[in-house]
Structure 1
């Protein structure tokens, strides 16, 4: 059967589109509410969206190429993601 997009790429793109939609919606909600305390709450709730999407899209991508790269490289990619999450974590 002929298909236009690789399934993993399609799911990754959809996740990123959902993430972007959430971000834009949050920005519009901040403008609508026009209160700094509520804007901070909305902004803080977005702190979960980014890392979750990062982990999900990377996992899907790694599953898509797992037969083409070695376990060692997959391990180093996962370590790199861990470092990114650690580096942006709030103290």
Structure 2
């Protein structure tokens, strides 16, 4: 198995584990205020994992995709963040 793919999958698994643990903590505490605090603490997990997994993917594709393709992929990721900023 490709090490890049393994790293990408491991990061996504770690992200899912963190999200699931947060959901279980919300249920355990059973209070809206606490659940809101737990949810707020997750605010950086999703984007950080997405950027890291995308970076790993780009590293894996670096020799296989034309430079224009890499620029388009980076522009697409940038547009995603731009769109999220305006929400």
| Number of aligned positions between the proteins | 87
Structure 2 unaligned residues grouped into runs of 5+: none
The equivalent position to 1:20 in structure 2, one of 12, 16, 33, is: 16
Partner SS state of residue 47, structure 1: coil
Cα deviation code 1:39-87 (max 9, x no counterpart): 1111122121111111101110110111011122111111111111222
Aligned to 1:68: 64
Aligned to 2:53: 57
Aligned to 2:36: 40
Choose 58-67 or 79-88, whichever is displaced more.
79-88
Shift of 1:89: 3.1
Aligned to 1:30: 26
Structure 1 unaligned residues grouped into runs of 5+: none
In structure 1, distance between residues paired with 2:21 and 2:35: 12
Q: TM-score, normalised by structure 2?
A: 0.91
Stretches of 4+ aligned residues off by more than 2 angstroms: 88-91
Aligned to 1:11: 7
Choose 40-49 or 55-64, whichever is displaced more.
40-49
